[in-house]
Structure 1
């Protein structure tokens, strides 16, 4: 018999054994906090949003750069969650950068990695609706050849859940969301054990908002220079 899923379910944290360093936490926040965060996000001016070809986003904390990020203070509604993530042991210090992405049905993001300018952990908080995220193991043929990728599995990211990518999951894998108007739920999902074990079915996508917390290790103080 085919072994579909080796992941064991814990109501607090689900460690995805197939991808070392990948942890899924359902209901990391409650509905009240979810609604509050969505209110704060959509109360921002239109100028705060950056429109991309396949989604729009808000950037908080500064613009990350390999030479260092000129850091700005996170607003209190993001700082509170960043502090909790550090207190829960996911980061050595409080995350200082947040990307807020809005995904409409049909929108997604190509498989990618976050890169070395961040501490090797990303925490993704999902709001409003569920989505499937795919993971690919990076493979390098040789020192001179370009890397290839190999499908490693998919997770269902439910509203109010937290996804932690660290260690090997952060360094050795790519993650992405398909540009589709639906997704399929079933036993093929790596975290199927905590998704109600529903029968396989197709689900129409709805708008989803994600908050990705990261720690930029090299920062430059935001100093205002005053003229003489």
Structure 2
């Protein structure tokens, strides 16, 4: 992190009292949701239409360039839920992220158009986001790049009591469109770590799990905007 062309006025700076109250409500909701979904059927990512995961999508050099271009204040350990909203034209080196989107996604979903809006979100250990679908102001297709460390994102389909845990590794890309974007909810549980399955050679035996503590992570989520939506 260091000198940057990012505008510090774009930070989402709600007052700390409101943030603390919101976090308390979110964490209470999260406990209820996790308990409810604990018995739901776990399904593989391949069974969710419109959901794709690409590990090691970004070169380490580009990951470092983007991280070093961001303001140091974004990563202060004293601040949870820090966000930076950006709209085109994106500053360098963020413009390079469009080049790492799959060609079939760009042509079939975004109709060969680049991202128009992005949000940089910092997650400290214990941070998360409640189950949700993206706002209708955004068009179909969501692309999320992960930086710094790994974290588990949970996809749920409450109407059928289905869930899917996806381990988002640093440098990876996850894409949602169609049913994955409009029907499934996605979330990051509020907790200090994640239970991660260990690899097993025996496909008939459920894999053992290990608890991996979280470290600071940030993501860049890229979207397109619905044509008739205006800002300001």
- On whether the aligned pair clears a TM of 0.5, the verdict is yes
Confirm whether residue 179 of structure 1 aligns to residue 190 of structure 2: yes
- What is the rounded CA distance, in whole Å, between the counterparts of 2:49 and 2:130 in structure 1? 21
Structure 2 residue aligned with 1:37, among 63, 66, 71? 66
In structure 1, stretches of 5+ residues that fail to align are 8-15, 62-71, 140-148, 223-228
Q: State whether residues 119 and 220 of structure 2, in contact with CA within 8 Å, keep that contact through their aligned partners in structure 1.
A: yes
Q: Is 1:128 paired with 2:128?
A: no
Report if the CA contact (8 A) 1:54-1:108 is conserved: no
Normalized per residue, the structure richer in strand is: 1
Give the aligned partner of residue 218 of structure 2: 209
Q: How does 1:14-25 map to 2 (within 5 A)?
A: 16-25=45-54
- Please name the residue that 2:139 is paired with: 119
Distance 1:129 1:107 in 2: 13
User: Which SS does the other structure have where 1:164 is aligned?
Assistant: strand
User: Does the aligned pair in 2 maintain the 1:24–1:161 contact within 8 Å?
Assistant: yes
Q: Does 1:167 align with 2:183?
A: no
1:6 and 1:113 mapped to 2: Cα distance? 19
How far off is 1:84 after superposition? Answer: 4.1
Measure, in 2, the Cα distance between the counterparts of 1:219 and 1:73. Answer: 19
4+ residue segments displaced more than 4 Å: 4-7, 219-222
Does 1:56 pair with 2:82?
A: yes
Aligned length: 179
In structure 2, what is the equivalent of residue 142 of structure 1?
Answer: none
The DSSP-based 3-state class of the residue aligned with 1:17 is: helix
Conservation of the 8 A alpha-carbon contact between 1:83 and 1:95: no
Q: Indicate the larger mover: 163-172 or 150-159.
A: 150-159
| CA-atom RMSD in angstroms | 3.1
Gaps of 5+ in 2: 1-40
Q: Which TM-score applies when normalising by structure 2? A: 0.68
